[in-house]
């Protein structure tokens, strides 16, 4: 790998750095128990995440105006609460649940690996989350980012080119000196097409038992690692 | 002060957090000594900073297209090198000198005070510097920002409203919950006019001996402190 060329690493976050599924299921289960609410929380979380790509795609296609991920999450949540027949949630409760995305827990290797990488590289999220979400998450989880690239900086969602190239422009670096890190092959394919370097590691537990996607590198990415700690080791950090 | 209302603090950087004048004079003096170049380095630094406001104002008035501060700094440097009769600087040397703005040293209270404030608030620069400059500076100086707001995110320079309101929007906070911190009264006046809370402390050494501006608070800012550590104490952080 052209390790000495790379100046900055930008990271996908949901799934790559934080374990959204287990975090949200744990949050909602505890919330439901405290309130005496019963529901199939794993199914609700899977449905919530299942609406993610379609809701982003509507913005990407121009079928709706720009809206940050916090707003899209909330719209989906309001619908799912109806569909799952969960009653008695007031505005404060719905807001609290929606902010669960701000409190996602990092995978065990993430904080340590990022700390190593930060000593040698500029590190930042490049996520479809909005800046406020990503900043709150970083404080809560201890993610030591140097800067925060949320989709609201660009008013575009990945894989729109404006996101990858927008981050490179703000970093004042050519794409060749920026490495996209993701547990998702499609994200890396979009980044590579624009000239960014790429690093992959799998998160086979991201979607829960029976996950079938992104279990392996589907192209010859510049680095294929086990996790963030291993990526740091492979990049000499 | 409405300390419990505040969720985020955004900071002016040049002069408020870092000591640009002493840092650049020290850098250029050492650089000149190593190269056998003699010049009135303090005068060059003062002229460089003196061109700052006029060059930003040309962008703000629309007299020229958007350009990030690194570019404006370089244009001024190229002119001053001629005016000061400094010969023999190649592109690498000019680039290194221009990047001196990325290596400015913090005032002695800045890193410790920001660390205290970070435990209770979201903290970020809101500077006319570009994101790459501010990110590099933070890594070099150990400034523990949660996020980086450079003028290039908004393609506007302070005191344009797009900068202050743009930061509030990205933070997903109403202006009343965001405090602008600056050693410059004019910056705070612009922020207050838009509804932000305000905090001032003086940096009487910023412009060197004989400084006459911004020696005291010129309005009843929400907090008037001695420095960043004192601000943290006054905000209960």
- ipTM of the complex model: 0.96
What residues in A contact B153, CB-CB < 8 Å?
153, 170
Which two tokens mark A24? 């949200």
- CATH number at A126 reads 3.40.50.1000
Q: Which domain holds residue B126?
A: 8-19+105-234
Taking the Cβ of residue B153 and every Cβ of chain A, the question of whether any pair is shorter than 8 Å is answered with yes
Query: In the listed set A50, A83, A102, which residue is the last one of a domain according to the structure?
Result: A102
Q: What is the per-residue pLDDT for A4?
A: 85
pLDDT in tens, B81-96: 999 999 999 999 999 9
**Cβ <8 Å between B150 and A170:** yes
Closest CB from A131, A138, A170 relative to B170: A131
Closest CB from A122, A131, A171 relative to B147: A131
Q: CB atoms < 10 A from the CB of B90, how many?
A: 8
By CA distance, what is A153's nearest residue in B?
Answer: B153
User: Does residue A1 lie within any of the structural domains?
Assistant: no
**Cβ <8 Å between A148 and B150:** no
Q: Are residues B119 and B224 in the same domain?
A: yes
Q: What is the per-residue pLDDT for B2?
A: 53
Q: Are B111 and B142 in contact (CB under 8 A)?
A: yes
**Cβ <8 Å between A132 and B171:** yes
User: Does residue A2 lie within any of the structural domains?
Assistant: no
User: Does residue B166 lie within any of the structural domains?
Assistant: yes
Q: Are residues A138 and A220 in the same domain?
A: yes
Q: Are residues B138 and B220 in the same domain?
A: yes
Instruction: Give percent of chain B with pLDDT exceeding 90.
Output: 97
Q: What is the per-residue pLDDT for A2?
A: 53
- CATH number at B95 reads 1.10.150.240
Which two tokens mark B225? 């402190």
- What is the Cα Rg of chain B in Å? 18
Q: Are residues A53 and A125 in the same domain?
A: no
CA distance B109 to B75: 32
Q: Are residues A141 and A184 in the same domain?
A: yes
Closest CB from B136, B146, B170 relative to A138: B146
pLDDT in tens, A4-53: 899 999 999 999 999 999 999 999 999 999 999 999 999 999 999 999 99
Query: In the listed set A76, A102, A128, which residue is the last one of a domain according to the structure?
Result: A102
- Kindly give the interhelix angle for B185-193 and B161-171, rounded to the nearest 10 degrees: 60
Q: Are residues A82 and A137 in the same domain?
A: no
Q: Are residues A50 and A125 in the same domain?
A: no
The residues, ordered by sequence, that sit 6+ positions from B222 with a Cβ below 8 Å of its Cβ are B1, B2, B179, B197, B198, B199
Q: Are A16 and A9 in contact (CB under 8 A)?
A: no
User: Does residue A173 lie within any of the structural domains?
Assistant: yes
Q: How far is CA B13 from CA A165, A222, B101, B198, B228, in A?
A: 26, 37, 11, 15, 12
Q: Are residues B165 and B52 in the same domain?
A: no
| Distance from the B131 Cα atom to the nearest Cα atom in chain A, whole angstroms | 6
Instruction: Give percent of chain A with pLDDT exceeding 70.
Output: 99
> What does each of the 237 residues of chain A score in pLDDT, given as a tens digit?
555 899 999 999 999 999 999 999 999 999 999 999 999 999 999 999 999 999 999 999 999 999 999 999 999 999 999 999 999 899 999 999 999 999 999 999 999 999 999 999 999 999 999 999 999 999 999 999 999 999 999 999 999 999 999 999 999 999 999 999 999 999 999 999 999 999 999 999 999 998 999 999 999 999 999 999 999 999 999
How many A/B residue pairs have CB atoms within 8 Å? Answer: 54
Q: Are B117 and B9 in contact (CB under 8 A)?
A: yes
Q: Are residues B73 and B165 in the same domain?
A: no
What residues in B contact A172, CB-CB < 8 Å?
68, 70, 130, 132
Mean pLDDT, rounded, for B228-233:
98
Q: Are A227 and A201 in contact (CB under 8 A)?
A: yes
Burial class (CB in 10 A: 0-12, 13-18, 19+), B234: middle
User: Does residue B1 lie within any of the structural domains?
Assistant: no
Q: Are residues B136 and B227 in the same domain?
A: yes
User: Does residue B3 lie within any of the structural domains?
Assistant: no
What residues in A contact B173, CB-CB < 8 Å?
132
pLDDT in tens, B132-176: 999 999 999 999 999 999 999 999 999 999 999 999 999 999 999
Taking the Cβ of residue A188 and every Cβ of chain B, the question of whether any pair is shorter than 8 Å is answered with no
| Distance from the B9 Cα atom to the nearest Cα atom in chain A, whole angstroms | 13
Total domain count, chain B: 2
Query: In the listed set B47, B74, B102, which residue is the last one of a domain according to the structure?
Result: B102
Q: How far is CA B145 from CA A51, A106, A172, B107, B152, in A?
A: 33, 20, 19, 15, 17
Interface of A with B in 61-100 (CB under 8 A): 68, 70
**Cβ <8 Å between A170 and B147:** no
Q: Are residues B143 and B87 in the same domain?
A: no
User: Does residue B173 lie within any of the structural domains?
Assistant: yes
Q: Are residues A80 and A37 in the same domain?
A: yes
Check pLDDT > 80 for residue B1.
no
User: Does residue B2 lie within any of the structural domains?
Assistant: no
């Amino acid at each position: 790998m052209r390790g000495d060329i790379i100046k900055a690493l930008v990271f996908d976050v949901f799934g790559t750095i934080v374990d959204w599924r287990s975090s949200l299921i744990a949050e909602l289960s505890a919330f439901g128990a405290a309130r005496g609410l019963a529901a199939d929380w794993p199914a609700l979380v899977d449905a919530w995440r299942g609406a993610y790509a379609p809701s982003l795609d509507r913005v990407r296609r121009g079928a709706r105006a720009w809206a940050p991920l916090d707003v899209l999450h909330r719209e989906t949540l309001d619908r799912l609460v109806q569909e799952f027949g969960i009653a008695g949630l007031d505005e404060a409760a719905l807001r609290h649940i929606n902010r669960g995305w701000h409190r996602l827990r990092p995978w065990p290797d993430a904080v340590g690996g990022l700390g190593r990488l930060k000593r040698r590289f500029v590190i930042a999220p490049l996520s479809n989350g909005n800046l406020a979400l990503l900043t709150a998450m970083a404080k809560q989880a201890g993610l030591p980012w140097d800067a925060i690239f949320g989709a609201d900086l660009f008013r575009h969602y990945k894989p729109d080119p404006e996101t990858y190239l927008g981050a490179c422009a703000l970093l004042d670096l050519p794409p060749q000196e920026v490495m996209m890190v993701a547990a998702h092959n499609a994200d890396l394919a979009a980044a590579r097409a624009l000239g960014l370097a790429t690093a992959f590691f799998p998160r086979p537990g991201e979607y829960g038992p029976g996950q079938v996607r992104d279990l392996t590198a589907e192209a010859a990415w510049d680095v294929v690692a086990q996790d963030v700690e291993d990526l740091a080791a492979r990049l000499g950090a």
